[in-house]
Amino acid sequence: MFSAIDMAPRDPILGITEAFNADQNPAKINLGVGVYYDDNGKVPLLSCVQKAEEILIAAPAPRTYLPIEGLAAYDKAVQELVFGADSAVIQEKRAVTVQAIGGTGALKIGADFLKRFAPDAEVYISDPSWENHRALFESAGFKVNNYAYFDAATHGVNFAGMLADLKAMPRGSIVLLHACCHNPTGADLTSAQWTEVIAAVTAGGLVPFLDMAYQGFGAGIDEDGAVVRRFADAGGPLLVSNSFSKSFSLYGERVGALSVVAASGEEAARLMSQLKRVVRTNYSNPPVHGGKVVATVLTTPELRKLWEDELAGMRVRIKEMREAFVVKLQAKGHDFAFVRDQIGMFSYSGLSKAQVEELRAQSIYAVDTGRICVAALNSRNIDIVIDAIAKVL
């Protein structure tokens, strides 16, 4: 029965990693990744995580199943982080949160849930978007369309195009928005532009699904979460997926959550019962360890302070790399000032596919679209990268 099955297409980003791993050049550099590296080129193990694990090891617990919706302390802490502890949607018990298997798991639970109750709606994602968005919603059975987003000419957002597309969407359409640190472009909306987007989404009767995979990597934890809070205040249905893969450097522990905002506490209880059904039929209940680590950090004041400091350190280092990138290319006569304005881990550098291929010949790996991971630059590799880019320009 398997003989007629075709080979699935390769994941473009994992393909870069494979080519990178096969490269024998010891000076090779991988800017194609979606991971934060420290200045030594290592994925950090945060001190707040280590300290939380010490606390957990000191009080060993049996590994029973978690509830379907996950660890209660985790769900509560996530809700407060995402919506703000004093949020009306929390006080009015209108928000429900389920622990999820990373941000990807949260998106998948959200997509399956929406398909059940809005089977005829279509989904709109930004052009371009994280490449898994389309695949995830298509695999849940949705037709997925693009809305205008990136403007290659300005290296920023084509806001007029985006707004026009939002206004043309049929009522009930599901619109996926990056809450902060847009992946892959690094181009975010301004606060004033978000005001217009929220108004268009509300007036158009659209269902906003905010994906927040990089809270704390933009301007700060609260600043990056502000968009979620503004949508929650606007009323109407809202879904929010969030991830701790990057902000806690807990990639492999798969810690994320899906939150849904309802019109009333009574509606929220019904939504929760249905979310649990989706989880139950996907993987029954989430894993314990990562959720416990994150909940411990978020609810222990010293550890929370440590996390906020460590996250600020990552955010500042990325900004320093953006600045160095711009200044060093400027010194070679190339204007990349837009990289300074972009935000988060990624930058659409404007390098063409041909230029990316030329870089690869110098053992520097980036995505064909020109996306580079700024968080993979460090004080030791940046000059090599700048020289190589100057050579291909």
* Interface residues toward ligand PMP, by CB under 6 A: 34, 102-104, 130, 178, 183, 211, 213, 243, 245, 256
307 is catalytic: no
Q: Which is nearer to ligand PMP, 130 or 142 (CB)?
A: 130
Q: Is the peptide bond before 9 cis (omega within 30 degrees of 0)?
A: no
Task: Say whether 86 is catalytic.
Answer: no
In whole angstroms, give the CA distance from residue 213 to residue 346. Answer: 12
Shortest reach from residue 294's CB to ligand PMP, in Å: 12
Active-site residue, selected from the candidate residues 112, 130, 165, 188: 130
Alpha-helical segments (H) within 332-352: 338-341
d(CA 197, CA 206): 11
- Which of 178, 322 has the CB closer to ligand PMP? 178
Q: Which is nearer to ligand PMP, 43 or 327 (CB)?
A: 43
Q: Residue holding tokens 């990807």?
A: 104
Write the DSSP string, 254-287. -EEEEEEE-SSHHHHHHHHHHHHHHHHHHTSS--
Report the nearest approach of ligand PMP to the CB of residue 308 (Å).
Answer: 20
- Closest approach, Cβ 258 to ligand PMP, in A, equals 12
> Is the backbone peptide bond immediately before 128 cis, with ω within 30 degrees of 0?
yes
**Of 258 and 272, which has the nearer Cβ to ligand PMP?**
258
Q: CB of residue 117 vs ligand PMP: minimum separation in angstroms?
A: 22
Burial 199-223 (b: 16+ CB within 10 A, else e): ebbeebebbbbbbbbbbbbbebbee
230, 194 Cβ separation under 8 angstroms: yes
Which pair of structure tokens corresponds to residue 61? 């617990």
Nearest residue (CB) to ligand PMP, 100 versus 198: 100
Minimum Å distance from CB 250 to ligand PMP? Answer: 9
Choose, from 51, 115, 246, 328, the residue flagged as catalytic: 246
Return the number of the residue (34 or 370) whose C-beta is nearest ligand PMP: 34
Task: State in angstroms the smallest separation of the CB of 115 from ligand PMP.
Answer: 18
Catalytic, 335? Answer no
- What CA–CA distances, in Å, run from 231 to 78, 95, 156, 177, 226? 17, 13, 23, 11, 9
- Cβ nearer to ligand PMP, comparing 279 with 329: 279
Alpha helices in the chain (DSSP H): 12-22, 47-58, 72-83, 88-91, 102-117, 131-139, 159-168, 191-203, 221-233, 265-282, 289-299, 301-331, 338-341, 353-361, 382-392
- Among candidate residues 211, 224, 307, 328, the one labeled active-site is 211
Residue 118 beta carbon to ligand PMP: minimum distance, rounded to whole angstroms: 21
The candidate with the shortest Cα–Cα distance to 246, out of 319, 183, 339, is 183
**Whole-number CA gyration radius for the chain:** 21
Which residues are catalytically annotated?
130, 211, 246
